[in-house]
Amino acid sequence: MMLNQWLPLLILASSLVPGLLIFYLSERRSGLRTWLNMSGAVLKLLLVGVMIWGVFHEQVYESRWTLAPGLELVLHADALSVLFVTLSTVLWLVTTVYAIGYLERSPCRSRFFGFFCLCVTATVGLALAGNLFTFVLFYEALTLATYPLVAHKGTPEAVRGARTYLAYTLGGGMVLLVGTIWLQTLAGPLEFAQGGILESIPGLDPTTLRWIFLLLIVGLGVKAALVPLHGWLPQAMVAPAPVSALLHAVAVVKAGAFGIVRVVYDVYGIEFSASLGLLGPLGAAAALTIVYGSVRALSQDNLKTRLAYSTVSQVSYIALGTAILGPLATVGGLVHLVHQGLMKITLFFAAGNYAETLGIHRVSEMDGVGRRMPGTTLAFTVGALGMIGVPPVAGFISKWFLALGSVEAGAAAWVIPVLMISSLLNALYFLPILYRAWFKPAPEEWPLDSSAAGPLETAGALLWPPVATAVLALAAGLLAAAPFSHLEWVQLIAAREYR
Amino acid sequence: MTSLLILPVALPLLMSLLALIWPARVNQIGVATGLLIVLIGSAIVALVAGNGVQSQVLGGWQAGLGIALYADGLTAVMLLMSALIGLAASTFACRYFAGKPTLVQFWPLWLLLQAAISALLLSADLFNLYVALELLGLSAVALTALGSGRAALKAAVDYLLLGLVGSLVFLAAVVLIYARYGTLDMLLLGAMLQAEPITWVALALFTTSLMLKCALFPLHFWLPAVHANAPAPVSAALSALVVKVVFYLLLRLWVDLFAPVITPALASVLGVLGAAAILWGSFCAIRAERLKLLAAYSTIAQLGYLFLFFSLLVVMPEGAQRQLLYGALLLFALTHGFAKSALFLAAGEVQQRLGHDRIAELGGFARALPTTLFATALAGIALIGLPPSGSFLAKWQLMAQALSLGHWYVVLVVALGSLLACIYLFRLLGCAFSPGLDKAPPVVERRAQLSPVMMALIATIVLGLGSHPLWQLLADVGGGGV
């Protein structure tokens, strides 16, 4: 029993403690720093493995700590939190390897990796949060931990981007805070429970609940980059590539999307939300975001900005799946939480490799890069095809379930067109990149050629992470129906959310 | 054991004399006194937690004649806070004043200030409170004048004049009360006060005097110059403790003494003034060009929050909800005390190492003074009210109570004030993290001052994650007429 209480805390500590230690390391101790980083990441992965096994066998992992009367810090592992924790942990490990390679010989690495560890701690904390109060706590902590990462380069552009990021997220955090406090004064401690908790509480005014829902979704929508709250995301692109990768795949935007999932399913309850008429507006916002993000992505020449708008669009698939009533759509939304992470992190790693190795920042500079960097470009191709929704890459599975779910819920009339437009637009902004990279002739000389003489196209620490995540994205698609797959896990969650 | 209560007053008084006659050992005397007061403060907290409210009359006289002392949960915790901040500022002062001629003048006055703070917290008699208030004001003025330059001197003179006006008004109120009721003992008076014109006049005079002394908007105008120009350890004590014990006194008077006379309208006047203080103080802090000035304006804003708490507290019916808000008020006051002292001490360190504290020119601060920057950032988190600081929990409770009472404006003001605080503190951090022009001589941080970091850690981690015993203590022992 002791372990069950301590496991969530240990999982947090496995990145918090290395982070705090790293702050105090001098710049030169790169060996020790790498060791701390990697051992923390591997240890976390092992601990999460134990947790998956336990949750599968219906063990209860819960830590509680009273901060003030009525305000409890609760860390609790349920099937949904395990899904997000696993995703964060796996991608953290990969990103750590990548970041070590990426930042080799750059200044202020102790500061960077310190905040990097804090960022993952906050993400895992909000994944494990057992009530809305704890969620808000880690949601704010995540803002604080990522701000120095976005501003890391210290250039005026980076400082400006970070300031925009901060203005959006702190404002959103405040709105979320007010909504949470308001709901808590009406309904008591908001412990997450499958099927929701509000329906069983008597005497709640539906209009008030709708206003509170609006506050919560606006607060979460800032991080989830719902239009029109997405303005910070393209500007936060000035961050170093590993940060962008983590921001887009797991940490920040996913925190928002995960929060929306929690609020709809485990606080309001999906059926109760539907009866309050909340799902329609949420679905409309998600559909608008999906189309708008894709349209904006079309006209971006900067590769990372194009990927950023693609994120704006893709993350809203999760919100879309949440907004459609029915277990199949739930599966589609939740499974995309994993799929978008795998695919987008691959794309950002690849973009970082182009920038680091060849100095390529723009789509228009990518002619013939496929032959120069085949491994990276192959990974990029897998990610891009997945985003479009080409089988057998993971993205196809998400869209399949979303479409099935919309038919089941009778919402096919608007959801399927949105999915089709989005896929078309995705193809329009990804396929030209692939065409340039593979089929156009390479220029005489690259903007920058810093690759070391070696058998590989770039440093190993830069090449293997995107390859690994691309393989994972492929495997997630190919093996989705295999036993013990993430899809089966998500179906388990979806089955429990409907009574 | 009850003679313990006199020690936090008597010990620094005696030590102040000792520091006067033995200038060669002032640092040791000062720090040893600080340590002893922390021990005494802890003992009083333990005593109150174990045995309940403590009171004592000195000299064997009956209540009403002797010097009456009183400590409940609120007093004990405030006492311990002021002891800890006093100790941190004392150790900081040893290095801050090293080699300066003002060193020997600083310590006797400093110990006198600590005695005055303890006396104000512990006294249960209006006349003694007046004496403590005078002692507090005069020693604070003298300490302010130790700051360098004409600005410090001018601020000190203004501070002196306003302090005297405030004290006279307070004295007038004391005289009125004595003339009408024949006693100044607060425990006795609490049962006697009646709603009649003379009581209202006395209440108005008390409130005006204390508003002036704790710089509630619109009577805040003197504070920025004083807090920004005093020597750093003194600024820390002024901002973190002096205005706060004055607030404590106001709270005591309203909640313990004048409770039968208070109407919701009166309370909401103070609440509105508090809201104005939050917005105006934060706005000025955003425009401040110097770090210490920023910290001073932030104090005005943070005091505004205390008055928001206050305005809700005095009108709430007794019960669990009021108890919650009461605990939150105390937690907010504590967090602000520790965080603000950390910010001022860090600012002093910056001023000494970099030679100035102009925010726009702080580039390179991060590289030159990492430990000090760490303290500044943690203090900033606590001042904004971000998790995991104590003020996050306190603001949560404030907003929750305001919502259940239907006071929407409080929620809006708290949200807006927190966002404004984000602006001024992140602007500061942004400048500190910028690479800076490499014209300044590189400063290497050797033997960093640790007291700002300790204070900031208490404000964020200890009070954020471990404040539950505080509520427990208040629930068990009570305080504030609950």
Say if A384 is an interface residue toward chain B (CB within 8 Å). Answer: no
Give A174's contacts in chain B (Cβ within 8 Å). Answer: 415, 418-419
Instruction: Please determine, for residue B2, whether its predicted confidence score (pLDDT) is greater than 70.
Output: no
Dihedrals φ, ψ of A191, to 5°? -80, 130
Give A205's contacts in chain B (Cβ within 8 Å). Answer: none
pLDDT band per the 50, 70, 90 thresholds, residue B482:
very low
pLDDT in tens, A287-314: 999 999 999 999 999 999 999 999 999 9
Per-residue pLDDT, B481: 45
Residue the block writes with tokens 């208030």: B133
Please work out, in degrees rounded to the nearest 5, the angle formed at the alpha carbon of residue B101 by the alpha carbons of B95 and B102.
75
Coil/strand/helix, residue A403: helix
Coil/strand/helix, residue B135: helix
What average pLDDT does the structure give for chain A?
90
CB spacing of A140 vs B465 below 8 angstroms: no
Amino acid at site B103:
L
Min Cα separation A164/chain B (Å): 12
pLDDT band per the 50, 70, 90 thresholds, residue B438:
low
Min Cα separation B118/chain A (Å): 28
The two tokens of residue B350 are 């910056």
Please work out, in degrees rounded to the nearest 5, the angle formed at the alpha carbon of residue A26 by the alpha carbons of A22 and A29.
80
CB spacing of B422 vs A68 below 8 angstroms: no
The residue in chain B having the minimum alpha-carbon distance to the alpha carbon of residue A176 is B415
Min Cα separation A18/chain B (Å): 17
Give B434's contacts in chain A (Cβ within 8 Å). Answer: 154, 159
Please work out, in degrees rounded to the nearest 5, the angle formed at the alpha carbon of residue A52 by the alpha carbons of A50 and A58.
105
Give A151's contacts in chain B (Cβ within 8 Å). Answer: 430, 433
Instruction: Please determine, for residue B442, whether its predicted confidence score (pLDDT) is greater than 60.
Output: no
Min Cα separation B394/chain A (Å): 9
CB spacing of B434 vs A159 below 8 angstroms: yes
Is the peptide bond prior to B218 cis by the omega test (within 30 degrees of 0)?
yes
Give the separation between CA A402 and CA A423, rounded to whole angstroms: 13
> What long-range pairs does A485-491 form, CB within 8 A, spacing at least 24?
A486/A83, A486/A335, A486/A338, A487/A331, A487/A335, A487/A397, A489/A79, A489/A82, A489/A83, A490/A83, A490/A331, A490/A334, A490/A335, A490/A338, A491/A327, A491/A331
Min Cα separation B93/chain A (Å): 26
- Asked whether the beta carbons of B106 and B146 are under 8 A apart, the reply is yes
Give the separation between CA A1 and CA B278, rounded to whole angstroms: 48
Give the separation between CA A80 and CA A128, rounded to whole angstroms: 9
Say if A91 is an interface residue toward chain B (CB within 8 Å). Answer: no
Give the separation between CA B128 and CA A270, rounded to whole angstroms: 63
Instruction: Please determine, for residue B241, whether its predicted confidence score (pLDDT) is greater than 90.
Output: yes
Instruction: Please determine, for residue A355, whether its predicted confidence score (pLDDT) is greater than 80.
Output: yes
**Residue B213 to residues B134, B207, B420: CA-CA distances in angstroms?**
11, 10, 25
**Among A227, A466, A136, which residue's Cα sits nearest to residue B399?**
A136
**Among A90, A139, A136, which residue's Cα sits nearest to residue A119?**
A139
Min Cα separation B225/chain A (Å): 30
The residue in chain A having the minimum alpha-carbon distance to the alpha carbon of residue B411 is A178
Instruction: Please determine, for residue A103, whether its predicted confidence score (pLDDT) is greater than 80.
Output: yes
Dihedrals φ, ψ of A466, to 5°? -65, -35
Say if B400 is an interface residue toward chain A (CB within 8 Å). Answer: yes
Instruction: Please determine, for residue A202, whether its predicted confidence score (pLDDT) is greater than 70.
Output: yes
**Residue A18 to residues A13, A114, A117: CA-CA distances in angstroms?**
8, 8, 7
CB spacing of B465 vs A65 below 8 angstroms: yes
Q: Choosing among A23, A71, A190, A222, which should be mutated to test the B contact, i.e. which has the most B CBs within 10 A? A: A71
CB spacing of A174 vs B396 below 8 angstroms: no
Give A69's contacts in chain B (Cβ within 8 Å). Answer: 324, 327, 468, 471
Give the separation between CA B297 and CA B294, rounded to whole angstroms: 5
Q: Over pLDDT 90: what percentage of chain A?
A: 60
- Asked whether the beta carbons of B303 and B241 are under 8 A apart, the reply is no
Is the peptide bond prior to A228 cis by the omega test (within 30 degrees of 0)?
yes
Overall average pLDDT of the A126-134 stretch: 94
Overall average pLDDT of the A67-75 stretch: 89
Instruction: Please determine, for residue A89, whether its predicted confidence score (pLDDT) is greater than 70.
Output: yes
Say if A178 is an interface residue toward chain B (CB within 8 Å). Answer: yes
Overall average pLDDT of the B368-394 stretch: 91
Q: Within 10 A of B62 (CB to CB), how many other CB atoms are there? A: 9
pLDDT band per the 50, 70, 90 thresholds, residue A451:
low
Per-residue pLDDT, B65: 64
Question: How would you classify the pairing of strands B54-57 and A71-77?
Answer: unpaired
**Residue A100 to residues A7, A34, A460, B127, B434: CA-CA distances in angstroms?**
28, 7, 11, 67, 24
Overall average pLDDT of the A370-383 stretch: 92
Give the separation between CA B396 and CA B467, rounded to whole angstroms: 14
Per-residue H/E/C for A322-369: HHCCCHHHHHHHHHHHHHHHHHHHHHHHHHHHHHHHHCCCEHHHCCCH
Say if A148 is an interface residue toward chain B (CB within 8 Å). Answer: yes
Overall average pLDDT of the A354-377 stretch: 89
Overall average pLDDT of the B14-28 stretch: 91
Higher pLDDT, A237 or A339: A339
Residue the block writes with tokens 């928001």: B308
Q: Choosing among A16, A65, A67, which should be mutated to test the B contact, i.e. which has the most B CBs within 10 A? A: A67
CB spacing of B399 vs A140 below 8 angstroms: no
pLDDT band per the 50, 70, 90 thresholds, residue A468:
very high
Q: Within 10 A of B403 (CB to CB), how many other CB atoms are there? A: 19
CB spacing of A65 vs B331 below 8 angstroms: no
Give the separation between CA A391 and CA A384, rounded to whole angstroms: 12
Say if A9 is an interface residue toward chain B (CB within 8 Å). Answer: no
Q: pTM value? A: 0.92
Give the separation between CA B106 and CA B237, rounded to whole angstroms: 13
pLDDT in tens, A474-488: 999 898 888 888 888
Give the separation between CA A218 and CA A213, rounded to whole angstroms: 8
CB spacing of B393 vs A137 below 8 angstroms: no
**Among B239, B214, B241, B230, which residue's Cα sits nearest to residue B34?**
B241
Read off the DSSP letter of residue A442: P
Instruction: Please determine, for residue B23, whether its predicted confidence score (pLDDT) is greater than 70.
Output: yes
Coil/strand/helix, residue A468: helix
Q: Within 10 A of B416 (CB to CB), how many other CB atoms are there? A: 15
Q: Name the CA dihedral angle for B395, B401, B407, B412, rounded to a multiple of 10 degrees.
A: 20
Q: At what angle do helices A412-439 and A374-388 cross, to 10 degrees?
A: 160
> Please, what's the largest Cα pairwise distance for chain B?
69
CB spacing of A68 vs B468 below 8 angstroms: yes
User: What distance lies between CA B193 and its chain's CA centroid?
Assistant: 29
Give A185's contacts in chain B (Cβ within 8 Å). Answer: 400, 403-404
Residue the block writes with tokens 């990927």: A307
Interface predicted TM-score of the whole assembly (ipTM), two decimals: 0.90
Q: Tell me the residues of chain B between 433 and 472 that have a Cβ less than 8 Å away from chain A.
A: 433-435, 464-465, 467-468, 471
